Structure 1
Amino acid sequence: MTRLGRSFLFLQGVCSPFYPRLGQRLAAEGHRVVKVQFNGGDSLYWRRGSGPVHAFRAPLGELSAFLETLWERYGITDQVVFGDRRPVHRRAIEGGPSRGIRTHVFEEGYFRPFWITLEREGVNGHSLLPREPDWFLDTGRRLPERPAPQRFRSAFRVRATHDVLYHLAGLCNPVAFPHYRNHAPITAPVEYAGYLKRFTQLRFWKPRDEARIRALVSGKRPFYLLPLQLNTDAQIRDHSPFANMQEVIDRVMGSFAEHAPADALLCIKNHPLDMGLVNYARIIRDLERFYGLEGRTLYLESGNLNTLLKRAAGTVTVNSTVGIVSLEHRCPTLALSDPIYNLTGLTYQENLDEFWQKPPPPDDDLFRCFHRTVMHATQLNGGFYCRRGIELAVENAARVLTAGRSPLEALL
């Protein structure tokens, strides 16, 4: 390690070669790289040679002491995590600041598909981004436009293959990592079975949904959009007041029945990566009868979101990135939680019951400044799964990880 090099501790990453390639890049630049393995999948994907590797096999309650030892032994200056809500990351994030350790958090992009998120200390609800519209206006007006991203194709089958390999390697966990518990509430076999069934059915659903969307957008009745999120997503589990999407659907349909104009429709669209473990169609039918909404709701398993947003009278979301897409389309948007875009002038700030009565569109100037600022401060061109996406992500992330200040810290 060079005199000016930093010392990076890598915890858990995505199920792909991104983490090891980033570690190799940092090591090649003269930085120390230390990796902690928590399960068989971590061990499979990490390529030895970048630096020391340690396996954590003890109960979770002993992780803080384990990390303290590594921090001291290797003079850790930075730690790298994917997602800030995994149990194996929370102790690192909470304990790092008192030791002067910077935490770099990767996450899927706020703007997609050619971007990933990299922030210090937290993302989403824990982002250091201010929640002040005037700050975004002032900052965004001073920043130059971001160049167009380099594009790449990231096939779902590539991501799925990495995920399967990662979990197959986890078959050794009972022996090699006996105390490891997955942060996801759904086990891999159940998840894969759900995907297999749902994706088989999608070929039958798509023509039906396309016809429904054509009728909806060509009709004269106003409609509101409720895009569903994943029940397993930390955005719902850790960053919202709801336990699951069933609660969200109930809350929104109840309010719609009581307060929306009589001629309005409610379009509920499933998440494209939903595992099919929850029968949303049946839940919605039951709630239709309960709230007297027969003929006023439409449920879609698939379909083009942009086509819907161009015509929607409004979008209700919890904290999905769909909210940002809705704002891009100048569609009135209400967030039921507190995502980074929940700002006065962007999202509707009154309650849900009042939203159904002609909500105002987002302020164009504020959204341009918000978009420009968030892109500059938190987004990197790249991806986590395909070869070209990983190359771009490694190149761009290495520059930010080794800088004295993050782009957001420089703005603040």
Structure 2
Amino acid sequence: MSAARPEALRGKRILLLQGPVGPFFRRLAKELRAADAEVHKINFNGGDWLFYPTGAISWRGHPGDWPQFLARLLQERRIDIVLLFGDCRPIHRVARTVAQRHGVKLGAFEEGYIRPNFVTFEQFGVNGFSLMPRQAQFYRHLPCRPGKAEREIGSTFRYAALWSVLYYAAAAIGRPWFSHYRHHRPLRLSEAFPWLRSAWRKALYRFRERAMLGLLTNALHRKFYLVPLQMSLDSQVRQHSDFRSVGRFIRHVVRSFAERAPADASLVIKHHPLDRGFHDYSRLIGRLRAQFRLGARLLYVHDQHLPTLLESMRGAVVINSTAGLSALSHNAPVKVCGVAIYDMGGLTFQGPLDDFWLEADSFRPDPDLFRRFRAHLIERTQINGSFYARGIDATASAALASVARAVHAPGTQRSAAPERASSAPGQSESATLCMYASHAMPAGSPPAPCESTSCSSA
């Protein structure tokens, strides 16, 4: 991300809400104070407290009182910017509304758009809430800058798993002290078990699928379409697409493939590695295989090497996963079925999914447009580092320039980027969000609609 002087944070008042699991926000607060900023923090559960045990407010109020509490805090402490991780969490969605109403800026951290060497930071929000332009013409007029060297991060899974287990254990133990808090996913000690299950499933899948990569890179080379799945609790699925679940997306894609794809093509559905211990779509995919009589044309894989698959595939279908960006970097055709920052003419296939199966072979992303888009994306939104692994201090230090730029950026208006509201009839509403947002509107105003949401990050 382009440089801004951290000295610009001197005297600024910064409020931290929930951060990534682990010590990142604690380290960030240390760096902010070293830059002479005034830092405040709110803890909402025992997991937050574990990683930020001192110098923080422990909020134990009823969810319906959260908007008023936050509004009063912003005014009393004259907050300049609110920082958070996971902008679709119910408490954070309400926080964005309250911050906007009071003219307070908001900065959102998230996993990297470009992985594994980056994390994301944007003013106002990320993904479907991003302020990044969505018009190809904007990027075509940008200068083409050479790429900068990246610090290699490597795998962060075991660190993220460790922090998650500790976070959920502390949240479960601390529940009597935070009895009113409602998380975006269950806060139980049993939530640690899927991370343990993930480890043995990885070994199992490695054995079961030991011949799969050879099949895909030889006999099925350039004959299969890849569907990289997102996590079952990824907020981008419900918040920024028409699909209420990953399962519904799978049904939609398989049906379209069965009806419209060439008879010699295969469909490879790849499970998300971080969802390995939480969800399994084997039965669903087995039923769809039988229903549409696809046989060996429909494959379900797990820990296969994604870059190798991207090199061998015919094209990729995603909801709005960052795997789509990786596919574009391999000059491969991509069909986006949700709202994604990279979904624009010249980069992704703009026709309907039913047409993609036959037209993918004749479509390729514009490599010059992609280079310019990627360079701008890194410059404006990416921080070379990790929230979880070694080098957290370096990531926190690098984030200062991004926060400084957000504090001094003009305006707090929302992005004009498209956001899809689910068109599914009878969509269930998130009880958690409704609880937090119940008092978010001024007196006399009609209640704000509560949208279904869940979040990708622990």
Q: Tell me, yes or no, whether TM beats 0.5.
A: yes
- Aligned counterparts of 2:308 and 2:411: Cα–Cα separation in 1: 33
| Contact 1:223-1:314 at 8 Å conserved across structures | yes
- Distance change >3 Å, CA 54–CA 194, structure 1 → 2: closer
Specify the alignment match of 1:373 in structure 2. 376
- Distance change >3 Å, CA 220–CA 17, structure 1 → 2: closer
| 1:299-338 → structure 2 map (5 Å cutoff) | 299-338=300-339
2:88 to 80, 85, 91: 85
Deviation per residue, 1:275-314 (Å, 9 max, x gap): 4444312211110111121121111122111111111111
- Aligned counterparts of 1:199 and 1:5: Cα–Cα separation in 2: 46
- Aligned counterparts of 1:19 and 1:151: Cα–Cα separation in 2: 22
Structure 1 unaligned regions, length at least 5: none
Specify the alignment match of 1:213 in structure 2. 213
Specify the alignment match of 1:223 in structure 2. 224
- Equivalenced residue count is 403
Measured after TM superposition, the shift of residue 48 of structure 1 is 2.8
After superposing on structure 2, the runs of 4+ consecutive aligned residues of structure 1 that deviate more than 6 Å are none
| Partner SS for 1:20 | helix
Specify the alignment match of 1:385 in structure 2. 388
Specify the alignment match of 1:19 in structure 2. 25
Measured after TM superposition, the shift of residue 108 of structure 1 is 0.4
- Aligned counterparts of 1:25 and 1:197: Cα–Cα separation in 2: 36
| Partner SS for 2:267 | strand
Alpha carbon RMSD of aligned pairs, Å? 2.3
| 1:37-76 → structure 2 map (5 Å cutoff) | 37-48=43-54, 53-76=56-79
TM-score, normalised to structure 2, is 0.83
| Partner SS for 1:111 | coil
Which fold has the larger relative contact order, with Cα–Cα distance below 8 Å and residues 6 or more apart in sequence? 2
Measured after TM superposition, the shift of residue 402 of structure 1 is 1.9
- Aligned counterparts of 2:31 and 2:242: Cα–Cα separation in 1: 40
| Contact 1:240-1:337 at 8 Å conserved across structures | yes
1:398 to 385, 397, 400: 400
| 1:273-312 → structure 2 map (5 Å cutoff) | 273-312=274-313
Letter aligned with residue 54 of structure 2: R
- Aligned counterparts of 2:154 and 2:349: Cα–Cα separation in 1: 35
- Aligned counterparts of 1:307 and 1:336: Cα–Cα separation in 2: 23
- Aligned counterparts of 1:93 and 1:124: Cα–Cα separation in 2: 15
| Contact 1:225-1:267 at 8 Å conserved across structures | yes
Measured after TM superposition, the shift of residue 187 of structure 1 is 4.4
Specify the alignment match of 2:202 in structure 1. 202
| Contact 2:119-2:385 at 8 Å conserved across structures | yes
- Aligned counterparts of 2:10 and 2:398: Cα–Cα separation in 1: 20
Measured after TM superposition, the shift of residue 231 of structure 1 is 1.1
| Contact 2:108-2:124 at 8 Å conserved across structures | yes
| Partner SS for 2:273 | coil
| Partner SS for 2:358 | coil
Structure 2 unaligned regions, length at least 5: 1-7, 417-458
Letter aligned with residue 45 of structure 2: N
Letter aligned with residue 106 of structure 1: F
| Partner SS for 2:296 | coil
Measured after TM superposition, the shift of residue 408 of structure 1 is 12
Taking every aligned residue pair, what percent have the same amino acid on both sides?
37
